[in-house]
Amino acid sequence: MDLHRRRSVLVRMSADGQRLGKMVRFTNDPARLKREIAKAGPQPKVVLEATLGWYWAADALAEAGAEVHLAHPLGVKGFAYRRVKNDEKDAADLADLLRLGRLPEAWLAPPETRELREMVRGRHKLVRLRTSCRNQAHGVMGKLGIAVPMSDLFGTRGAVFLNELPLPAGHAARLPPLRRAAARRCGNRQP
């Protein structure tokens, strides 16, 4: 299966590499995927690449009784250098790699683990965004040659300091949104 954001492609293949029917292109929908995979018979082996949005497809395939294999994107990348590249050939290549036992597999984490990973990943991104905003606010101070007299520019004393600063219009417009983003707490306890 060549999975994309809106539409995907299924290529069915026998154990000896013969194509079974035509390629199927469909709009992504769990119910539609289950109907299409049911045509492959009981417990089909299905491979899809671990790219953006694979969770729903892996879950739908597993619910439909498929043996799901997750192709590691970096491992599959080496096979992408061919003259003709399209979704059907991508899906067929994945099927061939699985069939021949050469598929570079990624770990298919269970839904509970994926949920925990999403929480950690989401918080990490928010913390990085907050840090970036704080660094940009310090950059504004540096551009204007303003020494920050306290250790925490975003604490109580820092807020008073920033509120009383006379800033040129461009910097005055830029600083408030940075301060709001930098002051937010990352995690479950956000106001």
Q: What percent of the chain has pLDDT over 70?
A: 93
* Tens digits of residue pLDDT in 45-68: 999 988 888 999 999 999 999 999
Does residue 76 register a pLDDT over 60?
yes
Does residue 24 register a pLDDT over 50?
yes
Query: In terms of pTM, does the model score above 0.85?
Result: no
- Averaged pLDDT for residues 136-165: 94
pLDDT band at 83 (very low <50, low <70, confident <90, very high): low
- Averaged pLDDT for residues 86-100: 90
Task: Give the pLDDT of residue 190.
Answer: 43
Does residue 185 register a pLDDT over 80?
no
Contacts of 56 (CB under 8 A, 6+ apart): 28, 30
